[in-house]
Amino acid sequence: DTVLTQSPLSLPVTPGEPASISCMSNESLLHSNEYNYLDWYLQKPGQSPQLLIYLASTRASGVPDRFSGSGSGTDFTLEISRVEAEDVGIYYCMQTLHTPPTFGQGTRLDIK
């Protein structure tokens, strides 16, 4: 199975400051159609995962533009330009190119 490794696993951030989460894959997530099959989710306490970014860099509907995704192949990044209190939770990357789909370990973001 494809292994996704996230870092850091814990991310304390001051409101208004930027934040960045890395997701590295042990195999390429780049399809022949030139899309990278890597998604980012935020899971708030007691809720199901909510899609933030799909195909590595496309924001899902309704997601604030302070969230952005980048990367290709095996190395991906989620960036939050200015963290807000409502951004607390656990962030997961997920790959859907290879079967089975797999997830990173999760990064817990909290407010300093």
Partner 1 sequence: QVHLVESGGGVVQPGKSLTLSCATSGFRLSNYGMHWVRQAPGKGLEWVALIGYDGYKKSYADSVRGRVTISRDEAKSTVYLQMNRLRVEDTAVYYCAREGGQWAWGQGARVTVSS
> Can you tell me the distance from the alpha carbon of 45 to that of 88, in angstroms, rounded to the nearest whole number?
9
Question: With binding defined as CB under 8 A, does residue 22 bind partner 1?
Answer: no
Question: With binding defined as CB under 8 A, does residue 102 bind partner 1?
Answer: yes
One residue of 55, 57, 88, 97 binding partner 1 per CB under 8 A:
55
Interface with partner 1 by CB under 8 A: which range of 13-21, 26-34, 79-87, 100-108? 100-108
For partner 1, give the closer residue by CB, 71 or 104: 104
Q: Could you tell me the two tokens for 8?
A: 């850091």
CB 69, CB 88: distance < 8 Å: no
For partner 1, give the closer residue by CB, 37 or 87: 37
CB 44, CB 21: distance < 8 Å: no
> Can you tell me the distance from the alpha carbon of 89 to that of 44, in angstroms, rounded to the nearest whole number?
5
How many C-beta atoms surround the C-beta of residue 18 within 10 A?
12
For partner 1, give the closer residue by CB, 28 or 51: 51
Question: With binding defined as CB under 8 A, does residue 91 bind partner 1?
Answer: no
CB 78, CB 8: distance < 8 Å: no
For partner 1, give the closer residue by CB, 16 or 62: 62
Binding site for partner 1 (CB under 8 A): 39, 47-51, 54-55, 60, 92, 94, 96, 99-106
